[in-house]
Structure 1
Amino acid sequence: MSSSNEKRALSPDPAVAAPVGEVAVSVVEAPVAKKAKIEDDGKTGEEVQTETQEVKIDARDARDHGIARVKAEFRVPKSDYTVTDTVPSRDNDDESELNGREDTSRRQKRERGQNKNRKFGKAHDVIRLCEAIKDGGVCSHGDQCKYEHDLSKYIASKPEDLSGTCPVYEAIGYCPAGVKCRWMYSHWSKESNKSLVDEAKKAAAGREMNRIDRSEQLLLQRKKFPTPKSDLILPYLESVKEDNIARNGGNGGVPMTNEERADNAATYIEAPIKPGEKKRLNYSHAKILSPLTTVGNLPFRRLCREFGANVTYSEMALALPLLQGTKPEWALPRTHTDEIGGFGVQIAAPKPWQAIKATEALVEYCEVSAGGLSEINLNCGCPIDLVYRSGAGSALLDAQTKMLRMLKGMNAVSGEVPITVKLRMGTRDKTPIAKKLVQRLVREGDVAAITLHGRSRQQRYTRLADWQYISETAQIARDTFHEVEDKNKDGPERAPVWFIGNGDCYSWKDWWDAVDNYNVDSVMIARGALIKPWIFEEIDAKQYLDKTATERLEMIKRFAHLGLEHWGSDEYGINNCRRFLCEFLSFSCRYVPVGILETLPPRLQDRPEKWKGRNELETLLGSGDYRDWIKISEMVLGPCHENFEFQPKHKSNAYEQG
């Protein structure tokens, strides 16, 4: 099959017409799994009728073994496989190429496990220029400044400019990196020694939001940030907690009388904005990108928005570092005007006071009125040991009363910003608890949306997500909401509680099947979007889009340009952008073009046999070798800085490619 710059839209139904300008390709879908009758010779005797043809199912069906079938002409014979003995170091790349790629005689077992102390080389200029003068400004420190102020000397020390025009200048009409930019001469005036500004483009460009300034950061660091709302709700929640413990015979305490409980409740002045009066969310058929660690950065989220995502979330932020004013943590809630109307910040906390005060800080310092914060999501599903052992994330599934106190307090201090929650089925495989928990959450009325990942904490990301359980829980949530509504007909109107499913959504068919058949309002997409960000386009088109290698390279280039706009176009910013681009490529390399697959739909857990693409670029984009990811980065960001290093998260790929 020859490659083309056009999209090839693959539909499972030949009768479905492709949009104008796209070529519809008929592909036979995998038949519905049935129990095959095994003959004496070990072959299948039962035939399964599909809509288009009869397909004989092999008892050793590769799909059952987690293998994605690739068309014969794209399979690489096992005799051509090469094996990398270990993950080579970039320090001795030539030797790595010789010993790793070309030596096919050795078949040693590849290293496994995580590179826990990954290092990423930092790029620095030979001469450190004062930041104040990089775009033609004046340094206020005078002779006391320890950085260089001679522009001509600094420019002479820089490496040669990269070819082309500065992507940041092209996007927003000016370049904040000024003379430090690696495309400096495309926007630098030699006459005035200043960076040029395109005022019209600058005025029309979007901007980043939710930036915390230095004075606000210092208030947090010095523990002087005022939290008046939290100071009201926390003592009340603590007294209710102690009363509940006493009523259950704990701590030897004496329970309050009914009169004392009424007096205690009277001491807490309810928030002026009640849950039903907060901003309304609408997640009916919304295309939602999940909070994603490391790769769910602002440039990647903007890329997914361009492909059609409606709702995006920050990477998970820890509540305590937020309250301590740490710069890296406050970079996570940063958003862009592209995300206005559907951007949530996800936080994790082991203690109610941390979650509640962090919520108050976010509402205070984020641009809520401008649309920079649509919701705050409490993570109650993260399975990572570090988070779980601290009592945050999925540990809250076993501390439901504490979780409910957190959500009630967050709701009380969040103003008009609604609170949502993300759950797993439970912490252990055989004891799911989400159904009863969801009932409690809906009855309490403190959450505007519930997301359920169809796995336990113990499962992590192994085995398929349990969508039947998600469906049953979604129905319970709906029934409980109607039950509460019926009991409180004369009370204030309650906002609907949206129910969102999560897990193993890799294609438009997965998404629509869940929405149509499993009681959910929408599906939150995680790894499916990391592997192919255009999944949101496919959901709208209800077709598989067979992106050409050229189109995918353009997508990578677009991510790089968004990254330069975010991290900067100087050497330091390019280094950061390259690192996160490689992190993105570590997922996108898992994409197997649908045009070379034998059966559709593709499954998230399936792994292909060793395959080659329809051209060299497609083969390169499917490489699981991190050195190839670096080569791809050089195609869109220029040559690497001599100090650049990248170590993949895992010592070997998550799956064998040969």
Structure 2
Amino acid sequence: MAALPPGAAPVKAEFLVSVAPQDLPDDDAAEGSTSHVTGRKDGEVTQDAQRGTILSGAQRKRLSKEEKKKHRGANKGRRFARVQDEVELCWKVAVGKTCEFGSECRFTHDVSAYLTAKPKDVHFPPPEDLLQVPPYIRTPVSPDTEMSFGPNTSIDFSTKCPVFERTGECRHGLKCRFLGGHVCEGEGGFVQLVADDDKRARAASAEQELNFMDGVTLKSIRTKKYPHPISDTYLKELQAAGEEAKLTGEQSVQDDPSTSVIHDVQAIDAVSAATVPQPITTGSGDQSQNDTPDAPLRSSEKKRLHWTGKTYLAPLTTVGNLPFRRLCVDYGADITCGEMGLAMSFLQGSKEEWSLVRRHPSESIFGMQIAGSKPSLLVPAAEIIGRECTGNLDFVDINCGCPIDLVYKTGSGSALLDAAGKLGKIIGGMNKALGDIPVTVKLRTGVKDGRNTAHKLMPRLGPEFGASAITLHGRTRQQRYTKLADWDYIKQCVEAVRSREQDEGLSPIPIFGGGDCFSSQDYWEKMEGTGVDGVMIGRGALIKPWIFTEIKERREWDISSRERLELIRKYAEYGLNHFGTDTAGVNTTRRYLCEALSFQYRYIPIGLLETLPGRINDRAPAFRGRDDLETLLASPDSRDWVKVSEMFLGPAPESWSFMPKHKSNAYGEESQG
């Protein structure tokens, strides 16, 4: 057989199907704003598709603005319609409660009619039912007892509800797609919900997600009635300092990013220490419950982060959700961080944005990441987050590295790399607003290719601005993922920070590096060669979540296909626990499971490689696995990912489809589930 071309993964000859390397998935497309509907960049319009006529320049400009507004954001071409039951049962009736709307309720209260129209229960296989040969899941034995409600519907009492098995109850009641796991036959043949008090008591601390935002609080945020006195005081001081600088003719810090902001921060510290914030009132006549915040902590009084040697899962948009983080914790991740949230959306009371701060009790060190362009957005958002997540948030990370246009053009993300003065004011204000919760910063090496600037900014982040930890991704904003991360430059930046800390007698803060880490060997070589306290893992964890086990055990794990299938089962279980076991929750879990498989298929089993370890940017030739399941899990066809999801979540509805984030993984109409 012909030799493999340069850049191809060194797969052993006996496993090769073809030496031609497959397309490398475009991680930039997954992160960018290309529309998967039109195949064009957002706003790129050449002619009127409906009329078939060429548009004038003014018409193109106007239509371009309209399309930009319509498709604003990343991957707007992907559509995931909410899949619901054909007959919608009132949720209060579903859990055995009485609906206060009665006959005026827009949902049905007829349980028998609902169960007749409801699809059959889904069988969620236990770990012992996983097989390495087709059909990969052991077929369940037909139940001895089955309650029938029509020709198409029956309750299978042999099925197990993943949520009930862990928590002793299911919040979706009769709407659960695994209903047989927590019902029994009551009087007159009716269905009766059951609960397990022992499991419920054990799950109270081990399974209950934290940092839930209630509707009343969200409404007060949306209506701008939520008080943030520390932020208000700080922003007034910033405004006064800016006006004073104009009156005295001094150059503004914001106009000159190279000017130190340490004097501004010290001055504001002094004023804030003498300022007593206005009490936060409850709005009731009883003033005894009013809360007067303590004086803000100085950055030097923050609790220190002892992260040396700990494994760190990067914040990952879309795919870094709570179920995925739980999975990585199971395989050894010590530090986890939620998906990036926008400060503006937090201040608007977005339910979706506030869901990003949810934490599972298994996450021992958990933080959230926030992006914004100025102190007037980030500081108030931080104050609300700090108050609502007290005790359940270990750090807040400022995103100074997001490269996508949507974020960069607003002055957020990597745009802050060229605005040191503004960044200093943001960190200083967030430190005050968050109390003892530390503020960390994640950044890139610079904005433009060939113009690294992080070595100038990073030494200021701790001593001057008050950051408690730094993570440096070894690429500029302009670089594509196909270019390797610059670890030599990361080493240079670490040395610059440590030099300043030593000169000024300061305690060192944790510094993590990031980029292209894909194996235990990679990890420890980078740790020993650059002086970082740890390596943040992003794409490496998406492709093989067990990388944290490899790092901790200092080995390369030749994981079997059945072990990988068990990992997928665990992800599906965590997804159902988080998103729900009703029809909508099952198919939301299916969507995110397919998202995860769109990365995991890229793993090339190390038992198939001539040389170790595998490298993240190697292009895989067409290969077959050591068994049928390993071959299936390596399929780049999104239809196969949907088939894998059906092993745990039942058949995908006809109305449901999956479109991968990576354009190179899409097969046009063939990608429909």
Q: TM-score, normalised by structure 2?
A: 0.77
Q: 1:338 aligns to what?
A: 362
Please list, as runs of the form range in 1=range in 2, the aligned pairs for 1:467-478 lying within 5 A after superposition.
467-478=487-498
Q: 1:29 aligns to what?
A: none
Q: 1:595 aligns to what?
A: 607
- 1:260: Cα distance to partner? 12
State how far apart, in whole Å, the 2-side matches of 1:202 and 1:546 are.
Answer: 38
Secondary structure of residue in 2 paired with 1:208: coil
Q: Per the alignment, do residues 186 and 242 of structure 1 end up closer, same or farther by CA in structure 2, a change over 3 Å counting?
A: same
Secondary structure of residue in 2 paired with 1:476: helix
Q: 1:208 aligns to what?
A: 209
Q: Which amino acid is the alignment partner of residue 408 of structure 1?
A: G
- 1:265: Cα distance to partner? 6.6
Q: Does residue 231 of structure 2 align to residue 227 of structure 1?
A: no
Please list, as runs of the form range in 1=range in 2, the aligned pairs for 1:519-558 lying within 5 A after superposition.
519-558=531-570
Deviates more, 1:152-161 or 1:547-556: 152-161
Q: Per the alignment, do residues 268 and 630 of structure 1 end up closer, same or farther by CA in structure 2, a change over 3 Å counting?
A: same
8 Å contact kept, 2:400–2:416: yes
8 Å contact kept, 1:426–1:432: yes
State how far apart, in whole Å, the 2-side matches of 1:455 and 1:573 are.
Answer: 37
Please list, as runs of the form range in 1=range in 2, the aligned pairs for 1:457-472 lying within 5 A after superposition.
457-472=477-492
Q: Does residue 374 of structure 2 align to residue 376 of structure 1?
A: no
- 1:534: Cα distance to partner? 0.3
Q: Per the alignment, do residues 80 and 194 of structure 1 end up closer, same or farther by CA in structure 2, a change over 3 Å counting?
A: same
State how far apart, in whole Å, the 1-side matches of 2:4 and 2:513 are.
Answer: 28
- Write out per-residue CA displacement over residues 596-620 of structure 1, whole angstroms, 9 at most, x where no aligned residue: 0111121111112111100111011
Q: 1:619 aligns to what?
A: 631
8 Å contact kept, 2:20–2:621: no
Q: Per the alignment, do residues 314 and 265 of structure 1 end up closer, same or farther by CA in structure 2, a change over 3 Å counting?
A: closer
State how far apart, in whole Å, the 1-side matches of 2:557 and 2:121 are.
Answer: 37
Q: Does residue 412 of structure 2 align to residue 408 of structure 1?
A: no
Secondary structure of residue in 2 paired with 1:652: helix
Secondary structure of residue in 1 paired with 2:512: strand
Q: Which amino acid is the alignment partner of residue 382 of structure 1?
A: C
Q: 2:41 aligns to what?
A: none
- 1:241: Cα distance to partner? 4.1
State how far apart, in whole Å, the 1-side matches of 2:243 and 2:193 are.
Answer: 62
- 1:556: Cα distance to partner? 0.3
Q: 1:319 aligns to what?
A: 343
Secondary structure of residue in 2 paired with 1:330: helix
State how far apart, in whole Å, the 1-side matches of 2:478 and 2:521 are.
Answer: 28
Q: 1:348 aligns to what?
A: 371
Q: 2:519 aligns to what?
A: 507
State how far apart, in whole Å, the 1-side matches of 2:398 and 2:378 are.
Answer: 8
Q: Per the alignment, do residues 361 and 465 of structure 1 end up closer, same or farther by CA in structure 2, a change over 3 Å counting?
A: same
Q: 1:10 aligns to what?
A: none
State how far apart, in whole Å, the 2-side matches of 1:251 and 1:571 are.
Answer: 51
State how far apart, in whole Å, the 2-side matches of 1:80 and 1:292 are.
Answer: 27
Q: Per the alignment, do residues 145 and 512 of structure 1 end up closer, same or farther by CA in structure 2, a change over 3 Å counting?
A: same
8 Å contact kept, 2:221–2:347: yes
Q: Does residue 181 of structure 2 align to residue 186 of structure 1?
A: yes
Q: Does residue 229 of structure 2 align to residue 269 of structure 1?
A: no
- 1:386: Cα distance to partner? 0.4
Secondary structure of residue in 2 paired with 1:76: strand
- Given the alignment, which residue of 107, 121, 133 partners 1:147? 107
8 Å contact kept, 2:8–2:21: no
Q: Per the alignment, do residues 483 and 135 of structure 1 end up closer, same or farther by CA in structure 2, a change over 3 Å counting?
A: same
Q: Which amino acid is the alignment partner of residue 318 of structure 1?
A: L
- Write out per-residue CA displacement over residues 328-375 of structure 1, whole angstroms, 9 at most, x where no aligned residue: 111111111111x31010000012111101101111112x22xx2100
Q: 2:146 aligns to what?
A: none
Deviates more, 1:531-540 or 1:155-164: 155-164
Q: 2:591 aligns to what?
A: 579
Q: 1:308 aligns to what?
A: 332
Q: 2:169 aligns to what?
A: 174
Please list, as runs of the form range in 1=range in 2, the aligned pairs for 1:621-636 lying within 5 A after superposition.
621-636=633-648
State how far apart, in whole Å, the 2-side matches of 1:475 and 1:603 are.
Answer: 27
Q: 1:51 aligns to what?
A: none
State how far apart, in whole Å, the 2-side matches of 1:585 and 1:446 are.
Answer: 39
- Given the alignment, which residue of 247, 251, 255 partners 2:250? 247
Q: Per the alignment, do residues 390 and 504 of structure 1 end up closer, same or farther by CA in structure 2, a change over 3 Å counting?
A: same
State how far apart, in whole Å, the 2-side matches of 1:565 and 1:397 are.
Answer: 39
State how far apart, in whole Å, the 1-side matches of 2:438 and 2:603 are.
Answer: 36
- 1:654: Cα distance to partner? 9.3
Q: 1:130 aligns to what?
A: 90
Q: Per the alignment, do residues 263 and 409 of structure 1 end up closer, same or farther by CA in structure 2, a change over 3 Å counting?
A: closer
Q: 1:159 aligns to what?
A: 119
State how far apart, in whole Å, the 1-side matches of 2:559 and 2:466 are.
Answer: 43
Q: Does residue 653 of structure 2 align to residue 641 of structure 1?
A: yes
Q: 2:69 aligns to what?
A: none
Q: Per the alignment, do residues 244 and 424 of structure 1 end up closer, same or farther by CA in structure 2, a change over 3 Å counting?
A: farther
8 Å contact kept, 2:22–2:619: no
Structure 1 residue ranges without an equivalent (≥5): 1-59, 83-113, 253-258, 486-493
- Write out per-residue CA displacement over residues 576-600 of structure 1, whole angstroms, 9 at most, x where no aligned residue: 0000000000000100000001111
Q: Per the alignment, do residues 455 and 152 of structure 1 end up closer, same or farther by CA in structure 2, a change over 3 Å counting?
A: same
Q: Per the alignment, do residues 296 and 595 of structure 1 end up closer, same or farther by CA in structure 2, a change over 3 Å counting?
A: same
State how far apart, in whole Å, the 2-side matches of 1:62 and 1:285 are.
Answer: 38
8 Å contact kept, 1:299–1:566: yes
- 1:463: Cα distance to partner? 0.4
8 Å contact kept, 1:232–1:269: no
**What is the RMSD of the two structures over their aligned residues, measured on CA atoms?**
2.6
State how far apart, in whole Å, the 2-side matches of 1:527 and 1:238 are.
Answer: 41
Q: 1:432 aligns to what?
A: 452
State how far apart, in whole Å, the 1-side matches of 2:581 and 2:213 are.
Answer: 22
Deviates more, 1:276-285 or 1:595-604: 276-285
Q: Per the alignment, do residues 61 and 418 of structure 1 end up closer, same or farther by CA in structure 2, a change over 3 Å counting?
A: farther
Q: Per the alignment, do residues 464 and 146 of structure 1 end up closer, same or farther by CA in structure 2, a change over 3 Å counting?
A: same
Q: Per the alignment, do residues 78 and 519 of structure 1 end up closer, same or farther by CA in structure 2, a change over 3 Å counting?
A: closer
Q: Per the alignment, do residues 455 and 540 of structure 1 end up closer, same or farther by CA in structure 2, a change over 3 Å counting?
A: same
8 Å contact kept, 1:175–1:195: no
- 1:248: Cα distance to partner? 2.3
Q: Which amino acid is the alignment partner of residue 348 of structure 2?
A: Q
Q: 2:380 aligns to what?
A: 357
State how far apart, in whole Å, the 1-side matches of 2:21 and 2:467 are.
Answer: 55
- 1:269: Cα distance to partner? 2.7
Q: Per the alignment, do residues 154 and 263 of structure 1 end up closer, same or farther by CA in structure 2, a change over 3 Å counting?
A: closer
Q: Which amino acid is the alignment partner of residue 375 of structure 2?
A: P
Q: Per the alignment, do residues 68 and 264 of structure 1 end up closer, same or farther by CA in structure 2, a change over 3 Å counting?
A: closer
Q: TM-score, normalised by structure 1?
A: 0.79
State how far apart, in whole Å, the 2-side matches of 1:608 and 1:365 are.
Answer: 46
Quote the sequence identity (%).
46
Q: Per the alignment, do residues 478 and 150 of structure 1 end up closer, same or farther by CA in structure 2, a change over 3 Å counting?
A: same
Secondary structure of residue in 2 paired with 1:336: coil
Q: Per the alignment, do residues 484 and 625 of structure 1 end up closer, same or farther by CA in structure 2, a change over 3 Å counting?
A: same
- 1:653: Cα distance to partner? 2.9
8 Å contact kept, 2:296–2:433: no
Deviates more, 1:232-241 or 1:413-422: 232-241
Q: Per the alignment, do residues 653 and 519 of structure 1 end up closer, same or farther by CA in structure 2, a change over 3 Å counting?
A: same
Q: 1:278 aligns to what?
A: 302
8 Å contact kept, 2:167–2:199: yes
- Write out per-residue CA displacement over residues 149-177 of structure 1, whole angstroms, 9 at most, x where no aligned residue: 12122111111112321111112211111
Q: Which amino acid is the alignment partner of residue 522 of structure 1?
A: G
Q: 1:40 aligns to what?
A: none
State how far apart, in whole Å, the 2-side matches of 1:631 and 1:507 are.
Answer: 29
8 Å contact kept, 1:68–1:607: yes
- Given the alignment, which residue of 76, 86, 93 partners 2:17? 76
8 Å contact kept, 1:302–1:338: yes
- Write out per-residue CA displacement over residues 450-481 of structure 1, whole angstroms, 9 at most, x where no aligned residue: 00000000004230000000011011111111
8 Å contact kept, 2:221–2:349: yes
